[in-house]
Amino acid sequence: MADVWQSSMDHAVAVARKAGEMVRGALKDDRTVMTKSSAVDLVTQTDQKVEQLIIQSVKEKFPTHRFIGEESVAAGESCNLTDDPTWIIDPIDGTTNFVHAFPFVAVSIGFSVNKQVEFGVVYSCLEDKMFTARRGRGAFCNGEPLQVSEQTDALVTHLTCVFRVRGAGTAAINMCLVASGCAEAYYEIGIHVWDVAAGSLIVSEAGGVLLDVDGGDVDLMSRRIVAANNRTIAERIVKEIESFTLQRDDAP
């Protein structure tokens, strides 16, 4: 059966690639830094330009679609997910990495309909790796199928005291590492919907498990997530985490 969202997904891949070119170019000469909500919440002109590039090109092709973009929300746009087709965009996931030229920087585009993520695209622009997932149709990196690891001993891509830890400095790439079988889990409290919308589908389509840090169902607006290769490791992480609540992304 024809996939009604295929042309949107093709467009997401094409525009993510273009955005990645812009990020690579800017790394050489345009990394002027500004701050947003706090001294460690960084934004560059490149974040803003890349988001504009993505939104403009999608608007031309799909004029009825809606957007949730990191920089648009920072500029005062709403962050409410409706049932309408919605592009959830992080133009540069790993802005701090970008500022320091630490080589893990991603363009992340999730696409949701009826509040369900239909496809996710994460372009790791410096590694030139295009991660994609379509709901019910698997996850891929540069066209090769992805599968989470079968390890029961965990390498975790965020802070925790009982597992071995690595971190790429971008939520989207951390999740793609889990989807690729290079790490067993990732968890974070404090992320936003644009950091994880695409990556969460990539993990689940690669056979992984998503939970809230309290062990319930994941809620992409809640700013908390555990992503793991299997339920046993996800639940072990849940047990270790001292969870807390932050203001939701969609808080009025």
Residues contributing to the site for ligand IPD (CB under 6 A):
70, 90, 93-95, 169-171, 188, 190-191, 195
Whether residue 109 lies in the annotated active site: no
92 marked as part of a ligand binding site? yes
179: enclosing H helix or E strand:
helix 171-179
How far apart, in whole angstroms, are the C-alpha atoms of residue 180 and residue 131? 9
Single-letter code of the amino acid located at 163: F
119: enclosing H helix or E strand:
strand 116-124
Whether residue 95 lies in the annotated active site: yes
83 marked as part of a ligand binding site? no
Bridge partners for 155 per DSSP: 164
For ligand IPD, the closer of residues 95 and 200 by Cβ is: 95
Whether residue 29 lies in the annotated active site: no
Can you point out the beta strands (E) in 125-182? 129-134, 139-141, 144-145, 155-156, 164-165
Phi, psi of 103 (to 5 degrees): -80, 40
Whether residue 195 lies in the annotated active site: yes
Give me the catalytic one of 47, 51, 71, 90: 90
At closest approach, how far in Å is the CB of 101 from ligand IPD? 14
90 marked as part of a ligand binding site? yes
For ligand IPD, the closer of residues 95 and 229 by Cβ is: 95
- Binding-site residues for Mg(2+), please? 70, 90, 92-93, 195
Active-site residue list: 70, 90, 92-93, 95, 195
